[in-house]
Structure 1
Amino acid sequence: MIKLNNNSYYINYKLMKKKVKQYAQHIENRTLDRRQVLKDFSRMLDNQIEKIVLFLLEQQGQLAGRLASLGEQHNSPDQQPDVVKIPELREAYREVGLDLLKLLYFVEVNAIGLRKILKKFDKRFGYRFTDYYVKTRANHPYSQLQQVFKHVGIGAVVGAITRNLGELQERQGSYASIYDQPSLALQDPVIDSIKAAVDRLGYSTNFLHFLAQHALIMQEEILPTPTEEQIDDKRYSFMSLILNLANTFLYMVNTYIIVPTADDYSLKLGAAATVCGIIIGAMAVAQVFSSVYFSAWSNKSYFRPLVFSSIVLFLGNILYALAYDFNSIWILLIGRLLCGLGSARAVNRRYISDCVPLKIRMQASAGFVSASALGMACGPALAGLLQTKFKLFNLTFDQNTLPGWVMAAAWLVNLVFLWFAFVEPVREEDHEEKTETKQNDVMERGLKQPLLLPSEQNGRNLEVNEQDIDDDDTEFDGSEEAPEESRKPVTSIGAAYRLLTPSVKVQLLIYFMLKYAMEILLSESSVITTYYFNWSTSTVSIFLACLGLTVLPVNIVVGSYISNMFQERQILLVSEIMVSIGILLSFNFFIPYTVPQYVCSGLIMFVSAEVLEGVNLSLLSRVMSSRLSRGTYNGGLLSTEAGTLARVVADATITLLGLLGQSSLLNLTLLPSFLICLGSIAATCYTYNSLY
C-alpha cells in the first residue's frame, strides 16, 4: 500500500498557532497594522479551508463511484440479487458506510480546529475576527466554510447507504423502503454511527439531546476515534444514578414548595408580605457558596457530600417548620440558609459528567433536567395539597409549616437509601489524565486513522501514515499557556474568568437575565395575585405548577422541530425578544390589571425563557474553553453561579422594592428585568456572528 502524508489534508493547526504568535510580535514592533493582520490571516484560513473542501469533494466522488458500482449489482433490471449475494452486498455497503464515517470524523476534527483557532485569535487580539470572518464567508453564495461546518453534499451519500442497507435488511421476507416505513428502526450499527456523526456536524437535535443541553454537562471538544469509545463501566452504578437524580428532584421541590405560602408565613411571624423575597432567596444566597465547596468535594467523593446534603437539608426544614411555634423569623431564615448550604447540584452534575458511560450520558443529562423541571412543578402543587391545620405534641401543622415537615421526612428517607444503596465510584485519576492527554493530542497530531485516497486501479482505500501536523509546540511566550498547562482544569475563579471570551460572557449574561426574569415572576406571584386578584394559596399553587409542567412539552417541540429548522443563534435572539415582550405585557399600565393579562404574559415570559435556556447553554458549551469541561471550576459551576446570583438579586429586589408598597411592586420589579433583557439583546447582536 502507498504511504501518504496526511499533512496535505488536515488543517495545519500548529502553523496557525505560530502565526498568531508572530502577529503579536509584528503588532508589538508596529511592522503590521490591524488591517494587514486580518487580511493575511483570512487568506491563510481560506487556503486551509479550500484544501479541506477539495479533499472532501474528491472523497465524496470516490464513495459515489463505489455506491454506483454496488447499485448496478443491487438494482439490475435483469435479476434481483439472490439470497446468497444479499449478505455480500450488505457487507459491501457497510464498508462504504465505515469509510464515510472516517470521512465525517475527518470533517469534524477540522471543524473543531477552525473553531479553536478562531477563538484563540479573538482571545489574543480582541479584534472580533470570528465575527468578521463568519459574516463575510458563511453567508456568501460560494461559501466553502459551509462545506466544513454544514457537511454540504454528504447527505446524498448518507441517504444512498441508508436506503440500500434498509432495503437489503430482511423484514419478514420483504424489502421495506425507509421512505415508505420511516418508523422502522435500522438495526445496522454503522447507520447509527453515521447518523450520530452527521447530527454532530449539523447540530441536529432531538428531544433528549435538546433537554440534556440544559444540564450544561461540559464535554471535551475532541472526538473519540471512529472505531473505539472509551467507556468505564466500573465507575457507574444505576442505583447510584437514580439516587443522584432523586437528590436533584427533592432539592427543586424543596426550593419551590414554599413559594405559594412564603408571604403568608412572613405575615404570621410579624413581618411584611414582601419579606417572602428574603425567605425564598435565602436558599439561593447560601447556594452561591455551597456550589463551590460541593464542587471541590466531588473531586474526592460523591457519597459523602450527598449524605451531608441530606442531613443539612433535613435540619434546615425542621428549623423552617419550628419557626412558627417559636414565632421567630430568624429561625425561619436560618432554616432556609441551611437548605441552601445543602445544595448538591454541583455534585449531581459532576456525577453524571464523570461517572456515567458515554453511551447513556445524554439520557442521564436529560434525566437531570427532567428531575429539576418536575421538582419545580411538584413543589407548588404539593404546597397546594397541604391545606390543613392541626396540632400534635404542641407543634403546629398547617399550610405554612407542613412544607418543612414533609420535606424533612423526604430527606430522611433519602438519607437512608443513600446510606445503604449508593456505591462510591472508583477513582482512577491516572487513567483520566492519560485519556485527557490523548484527547488533546488528537487536534495537534491528527487522527491515527486511514483516510480515503484515490486509487488508479479500483478506488479501494489506501493506508495513510500518521504524521505530526507540526513537529514542535513548545514555544510560547508570557501570554500563552504552556501545552501541559493548557490541558489541566483551572484551579481558581480568577483563572476561569480569564478564559471567558466576549461571546462566553454574553452567554452568561443571557443566563443571568432569564433566571432573573423567571425568579421575579415566580417569587412575587403569591404577593401580586393576592393583591390584584385575591387568589388563594391553592390557586397560586395551580398556576405555578402549570408553568412548571410546560417545561417538557416546550422542549419536545423545540428540540424535535424548531432547533432543526433554524440556527441556534436565531432561536436565541428571537427567544430574548419574546421574553422582553412577555415582560412588557406584564406591566400594569392605565387599564385595570386582569387575570388573563397576568397569566398570558407570565406564560409567554416563562416559556420563552425555557426555550432560551436550552439554546443558550448549547451555544455556551461550544464557545467555552475546553479547560472548563472538568475540575472544580467547570462550566457547569459557572452557569450555576450565574443563575443562582440572578435569583439572589431578584429576591432581594422584591424585598427592597416591596418597602415602597405593594401597589407599585409589580412595575418596579419588572423594570430591571426589562432593562437587563434589552441589554442582553444588544450584547447578542454585538457577538451574533461569533456564535457559530
Structure 2
Amino acid sequence: MVGFGKRIKRKAPKGWESLMLDYSLLKSRLEMASEVESLDGSQHGRTDSKVALALRNSFQHLLDSELEKVLAHYSLYSARLCSRVEGLKAETSVASQFFRQGLGPSELAELTKDVKTLAELWVEQAGKLRMLLQYLTLNLEGLRKILKKYKKSNAVGVSPRPGLVTLRLDHPSLPGGFVEQGSFLPLDMVEQINAMKDHDELVEASQTVRAALLELDAMKRQLSEAAGRSGGKGRIVGQSIYGAFSQEARNHGSVQRSLSMLRSQLSSLEDLDAVERRARAAAAVITPMAHFETRAAIFTPAPPDHAAYATVPGLLINLASAFLYMTNYSLVLPTNEEFLEHIGSRGSMAGVCVGMADITAVFVSLLYGWWSNRSFKQPLIASSLLCLTGNVVYCFAWDAHAGIALPMLLAGRLLTGMGSCRAVNRRYIADFVSSKRRTAASAAFVAASAGGAAMGPLLAVPLQNIQDFKIAGFSINSITGGGYLMAGAWLVFTTFLQAVFVDPPRDDDEDVSDDDTEDQAALESSPDVEDSLSRPLLGPATEDAQKPFNMRPAYCCILSLFVLKFVQQGMISSLPEFTHQFYGWRSAFIGGFLSILSLSMLPVNFGVALGATVISDRQLLLSSEVVSLLGCLLMLSYGGSFPALWAYVTGTVLVYAATIVMESCSMSMLSKKIPKSLSRGTCNAGLLATQAGSGGRFFGNMSISFFGSLIGKHLNTPEAIVKFDHLMFGSLVAVTLIGFAFTLSIFRSLK
C-alpha cells in the first residue's frame, strides 16, 4: 500500500508515534539500495559492489534497530500492563470475598465505592490493552510489508547466518511462497520476537479483563439489591450492570459517569476478539528462526571473525579425538559376551561392562568443561592417556586370575569413560570456529562420531582372523587384539597432539596496542564480547527479565534425549546376547550388522533434514516415539517362542532410526526453548544434553545386568532368554511410553 508509511503514523496510539516502525525511512533506504544494485547490473553504469553491499547491510541494520525498538517498547509496556492486571485481579478477588461476608449499611456503602473504583481501573486497563494490541498489529503489518517489498525489489537479501536470527515471511504472492531474510540480531532475540508474535500474555490479560468485568457486573447487581433491601429507599430497576446500585447511588454523578464509561468500554470489549484476530493474522506470516548447529549439541552463536582462532590441525585433532573415542566405546559390543564367558562371568554383565564408560563420562564432562576454560591441549592429552591406559587394563584382564579379572575388565572400561573428551571437542568448534566454517565443522563432528560408532563393531570382522599368541605372557587374540589396536592408536594420537596442537589464545593473553587500549577497555566492560553485527542496539527491558521462563519444553527435550539413549543403548548392548541365543550369530557377524546399522542412518539424517522443512519438530518427535514403541514391540517374545528373525531385525532398524530422528528433533527444539542463561558458560545446554545422553546410555546398559541378575542364572536356556527378552524390551516399552506421555501432555508448549 502506497500510503502505509503515513497510515502507520496516523493510526498509532496517541503518544506512541515515535515508537512505531519507521516504515517510510525503511522504504527510502530500500529504494536507495535497490537503485544502486540496478545500476551495478546495467550496461550504462557500473558502481562498486562494495557500495551495494554496504547499502544492503545498512538497510538490514536499520530494520534490525527498528525491530529492536518495537520489541523493547512492547516488552516494557506488556510487562507493566500484565503486572497491573494481576494486581487488579487480586484486589477484585479481595472485594469479592469481602462482599460474601455479612455487611451493614456503612460497609455496604464503602464496598459500593470500592467496586466503582475498581470498575474505573479495569476500564483503564482495557483501554491500554486495546492500544497495545493495535500497536502490535500495525508494527507486524509494517514488518511484513517491508520484507515483502525487499523480496520483490532488485536488492539482494542478506543471507541467513549461523548464530544470528533469520526472519521468514510466508506469503502467496512471493516466488516460492516464502522468503528467508537474514539479520544481524543475536539469537536471544528469537525468544523476544516469538513472545511478541504469540502475545499469549495479552490474550490471558484480555480473558482476565472479561472475567473481572463479569464479576463486577454480578457484584453490582447484588449490591443494588442489598442496598434496596437495607435502605428501603431504592428499588431494583433491572438486573443489568447498567442498572443503579440504589436510588441514593443514582444521585451521585460520579457513579453515573463510571457506569457510563463502563458501558462504553464493555461495548468496545466486544470487538477485542476482532482486534486479537487481526494481531494474530499479522503475526502468523512472520517466523523468527535460530540457526544453531544443534546436531553437534552446540547452542551458542559463532564467534566474530577476529576471535575465530581455530586452525585446521586443531580441528582435525578434535575430530580425530571424537572418532577414536566412539570407536573405542563401541569396540567391545560384539565381543563382550565371549570375554565375560572366558573370565567366568555371566553374559548379562555385558551391560555393566559397557556402562562403566558412561557413568564416568557423565561426571568427567563437568571436569573437562571447567578445564577447557583454561586450556584445550591439557584435557585432550589427559583424555587420550586415560583411554590408552583403559585399553591396556581391559586387555590384561583376559589373562588375570578369576578373582580379579572382572574388576580389571570394569576398571579398564571405567578409565576409557574418563577419556570421553567430547565436551572439549564440541566447545572448540563452538568457541573458535567462525560462522562461515562452523556448519561444515559441526557436520564433520557429527560424521566423525557416527563413523567411530560404526568402525568399532566393524573391527570385529578383520580381527576374527587373528591367531592366538602371547607376548610377555599376555594374550593377543580376536578379542584383545582390538584393545591393543586402540591403545596403539591412542599412543600415536597423543604423540601427534603433543607436537602439533596449539592452544587458542585467550582474550586476556592477547597483546593490545596503545591505539586499541580504549576500544579494548570498552570490550572488557561488556559482559558478552560480540562483534558489531550481532550486538543488540537496545538491551532487553528489565521487566522482561522478571517474567518466569517456561522450562517444560526444555525438560521435555532433556527427557527425550535421556529416553532415546536409554532405548538405543539398551537395544544395542543386548543385541549380541539375543542374536547369539536366538539365531546363533557370531561376533564377526554381529559386528558387521552393527556397523551396517550405524552407516545406514546417514540417509535417515538426510531425510530428517528434508522432512524438517515441511514437518514441525514436535510432530517429528511424537511420530518417532511411536515408531520406537512399535520397534520395541516387534522384538518382544510372544507365546514363549523366539521372535522371528524378520521381526527382530525390523524392530532393531525401526528403534535405531526412530532414536536418531528423536535426537535431531530434541536438539533442534532445545536450541529454540532454552533460556538465555543456559546458552553460554561451562554448564550450558550442550553440557546438559551430553549429560542426559550419557545418563540414558548408562541406565540402558545397567538394565541389562540388572535384569540378568533378577533371572539369577546364565542366559543359556530358552526359558531364561525369553524371560530376559520380556524384561528388557518391556522396560524399553515402558520408558518410551513415559517419554511419549510427557511429550503429548505439553505438545502445545512445544510449538
Give the residue type in structure 2 aligned to 1:580: L
Aligned to 1:55: 142
Inter-partner Cα distance in structure 2 for 1:643 and 1:96: 36
Aligned to 2:741: 682
CA 1:624 to 1:44, structure 2 compared with 1: closer, same or farther past 3 Å? farther
Aligned to 2:645: 595
Cα distance, 1:670 vs. partner? Answer: 1.2
69, 77, 88: which one aligns with 1:15: 77
CA 1:570 to 1:321, structure 2 compared with 1: closer, same or farther past 3 Å? same
Counterpart secondary structure, 1:633: coil
Aligned to 1:219: 300
Aligned to 1:570: 619
TM-score under structure 1 normalisation?
Answer: 0.71
Counterpart secondary structure, 1:287: helix
Cα distance, 1:31 vs. partner? Answer: 5.4
Cα distance, 1:103 vs. partner? Answer: 7.4
Aligned to 2:554: 504
Cα distance, 1:41 vs. partner? Answer: 11
Preserved contact between residue 184 and residue 533 of structure 2 (Cα < 8 Å):
no
Inter-partner Cα distance in structure 1 for 2:158 and 2:383: 52
Aligned to 1:354: 431
Aligned to 1:363: 440
Cα distance, 1:339 vs. partner? Answer: 0.8
Deviations 1:215-263 (A, max 9, x none): 120025xxx9xxxx83235522111011001100101001100000111
Aligned to 1:330: 407
Aligned to 1:239: 313
Deviations 1:568-609 (A, max 9, x none): 221111111111111111111125422211111100110111
Note the aligned Cα RMSD (angstroms): 4.1
Inter-partner Cα distance in structure 2 for 1:442 and 1:339: 43
Counterpart secondary structure, 2:470: strand
Preserved contact between residue 234 and residue 426 of structure 1 (Cα < 8 Å):
no
Q: How does 1:23-422 map to 2 (within 5 A)?
A: 25=87, 46-47=133-134, 49-60=136-147, 63=150, 67=153, 93-94=155-156, 105=183, 112-115=191-194, 145=280, 148=283, 150-151=285-286, 201=288, 212-220=293-301, 230-233=304-307, 235-327=309-401, 328-387=405-464, 388=466, 389-422=468-501
Counterpart secondary structure, 1:599: helix
Inter-partner Cα distance in structure 2 for 1:260 and 1:632: 36
Aligned pairs, number:
549
Cα distance, 1:501 vs. partner? Answer: 0.5
Aligned to 1:582: 631
More moved, 230-239 vs 434-443: 434-443
Give the residue type in structure 1 aligned to 2:428: Y
Preserved contact between residue 144 and residue 286 of structure 2 (Cα < 8 Å):
no
Aligned to 1:165: none
Aligned to 2:217: none
Deviations 1:614-641 (A, max 9, x none): 1111011110112212211110111111
Stretches of structure 1 lacking an aligned partner (at least 5 in a row) = 68-91, 130-136, 153-200, 449-467, 482-497
Preserved contact between residue 149 and residue 202 of structure 1 (Cα < 8 Å):
no
Inter-partner Cα distance in structure 2 for 1:548 and 1:271: 29
Aligned to 1:454: none
Give the residue type in structure 1 aligned to 2:397: A
Preserved contact between residue 14 and residue 469 of structure 1 (Cα < 8 Å):
no
Deviations 1:27-69 (A, max 9, x none): 6666599xx9x999986874454133221244257558x84xx
Cα distance, 1:688 vs. partner? Answer: 1.5
CA 1:285 to 1:141, structure 2 compared with 1: closer, same or farther past 3 Å? same
Preserved contact between residue 510 and residue 616 of structure 1 (Cα < 8 Å):
yes
Inter-partner Cα distance in structure 2 for 1:361 and 1:510: 26
Inter-partner Cα distance in structure 2 for 1:641 and 1:626: 19
* Greater Rg by CA: 2
Inter-partner Cα distance in structure 2 for 1:395 and 1:6: 82
Cα distance, 1:649 vs. partner? Answer: 1.1
Deviations 1:251-278 (A, max 9, x none): 1001100000111111111110101111
Aligned to 1:426: 505
Query: Does residue 634 of structure 1 match 2:684?
Result: yes
Deviations 1:169-228 (A, max 9, x none): xxxxxxxxxxxxxxxxxxxxxxxxxxxxxxxx467x9xxx8xx422120025xxx9xxxx
Preserved contact between residue 500 and residue 624 of structure 1 (Cα < 8 Å):
no
Counterpart secondary structure, 1:565: coil
CA 1:499 to 1:280, structure 2 compared with 1: closer, same or farther past 3 Å? farther
699, 703, 706: which one aligns with 1:649: 699
Preserved contact between residue 387 and residue 487 of structure 2 (Cα < 8 Å):
yes
Give the residue type in structure 2 aligned to 1:59: I
Query: Does residue 623 of structure 1 match 2:623?
Result: no
Give the residue type in structure 2 aligned to 1:51: L
Preserved contact between residue 516 and residue 646 of structure 1 (Cα < 8 Å):
yes
Preserved contact between residue 299 and residue 631 of structure 1 (Cα < 8 Å):
no
CA 1:105 to 1:506, structure 2 compared with 1: closer, same or farther past 3 Å? same
Give the residue type in structure 1 aligned to 2:193: L
Query: Does residue 668 of structure 1 match 2:727?
Result: yes
Cα distance, 1:102 vs. partner? Answer: 12
Give the residue type in structure 2 aligned to 1:231: D
Cα distance, 1:662 vs. partner? Answer: 3.0
Inter-partner Cα distance in structure 1 for 2:296 and 2:561: 13
Cα distance, 1:433 vs. partner? Answer: 6.2
Cα distance, 1:524 vs. partner? Answer: 0.5
Give the residue type in structure 1 aligned to 2:480: T
Inter-partner Cα distance in structure 1 for 2:449 and 2:488: 20
More moved, 585-594 vs 235-244: 585-594
Inter-partner Cα distance in structure 1 for 2:441 and 2:150: 37
Inter-partner Cα distance in structure 2 for 1:516 and 1:316: 24
More moved, 307-316 vs 581-590: 581-590
530, 537, 540: which one aligns with 2:590: 540
Give the residue type in structure 2 aligned to 1:557: G
Deviations 1:333-370 (A, max 9, x none): 11111111111111111111111112111211111111
Inter-partner Cα distance in structure 2 for 1:120 and 1:424: 46
Inter-partner Cα distance in structure 2 for 1:682 and 1:42: 37
Give the residue type in structure 2 aligned to 1:313: C
* Identity among equivalent pairs (%): 27
CA 1:57 to 1:266, structure 2 compared with 1: closer, same or farther past 3 Å? closer
Give the residue type in structure 2 aligned to 1:16: S
Counterpart secondary structure, 1:232: helix
CA 1:248 to 1:48, structure 2 compared with 1: closer, same or farther past 3 Å? farther
Preserved contact between residue 259 and residue 526 of structure 1 (Cα < 8 Å):
yes
Preserved contact between residue 571 and residue 612 of structure 1 (Cα < 8 Å):
yes
Counterpart secondary structure, 2:459: helix
651, 654, 658: which one aligns with 2:708: 658
Counterpart secondary structure, 1:572: helix
Deviations 1:417-444 (A, max 9, x none): 110111101111689866764769999x
CA 1:442 to 1:332, structure 2 compared with 1: closer, same or farther past 3 Å? same
Aligned to 1:525: 575
Cα distance, 1:528 vs. partner? Answer: 0.6
Preserved contact between residue 561 and residue 692 of structure 2 (Cα < 8 Å):
yes
Preserved contact between residue 234 and residue 425 of structure 1 (Cα < 8 Å):
no
Q: Which has the higher contact order (CA 8 A, sep 6+)?
A: 1
CA 1:103 to 1:13, structure 2 compared with 1: closer, same or farther past 3 Å? farther
Cα distance, 1:416 vs. partner? Answer: 0.8
Stretches of structure 2 lacking an aligned partner (at least 5 in a row) = 1-5, 10-15, 22-69, 97-121, 161-166, 170-178, 209-271, 509-519, 712-719
Preserved contact between residue 81 and residue 129 of structure 2 (Cα < 8 Å):
no
CA 1:20 to 1:649, structure 2 compared with 1: closer, same or farther past 3 Å? farther
